[in-house]
Amino acid sequence: MLNKKKAYVVAVVGATGAVGQEMMLTLEQRKFPIEKIRLFASERSEGKELEFAGQKIKVERLTDDCFKGIDIALFSAGAERSRIWAPIASKSGCVVIDNSSQWRMDPEVPLVVPEVNSNDLSWHKGIIANPNCSTIQMVVVLKPIHDVAKIKRVVVTTFQSVSGTGMKAMDELMQQTSDMLNFKEIKTNVYPYQIAFNVLPHIDKFLENGYTKEEMKMVNETKKIMGDDTIRVTATTVRVPVFRCHSESLNIETDKKLSVIDVREILSLAKGVIVYDAPDKNIYPMPITAVDKDDTYVGRIREDESIENGINMWIVSDNLRKGAALNAVQIAEELTK
Catalytic annotation, residues: 133, 246
CA angle, 155 as apex, 135 and 318 as ends, to 5°? 35
Report how far residue 162's alpha carbon sits from residue 114's, in angstroms, rounded to the nearest whole number.
25
If we measure between CA atoms, which residue out of 138, 166, 203 comes closest to residue 22? Answer: 166
CB 124 within 8 A of CB 93: no
CA distance from start to end of the chain: 12
Residue (of 246, 249, 277) closest to 263 by Cα position: 277
| Sheet bearing 246-254, strands edge to edge | 232-239, 151-160, 246-254, 310-317, 296-303, 273-275
Radius of gyration of the chain (CA): 20
Task: Give all strands of the β-sheet with 49-52 in edge-to-edge order.
Answer: 49-52, 55-61, 34-41, 8-13, 72-75, 95-98, 127-129
By CB neighbour count within 10 A (0-12 exposed, 13-18 middle, 19+ buried), where does 81 fall? buried
Q: CB–CB of 213/207 below 8 Å?
A: yes
Which amino acid appears at position 35 of this protein? E
Beta bridge partners of 310: 253
Pairing of β 310-317 and β 246-254: antiparallel
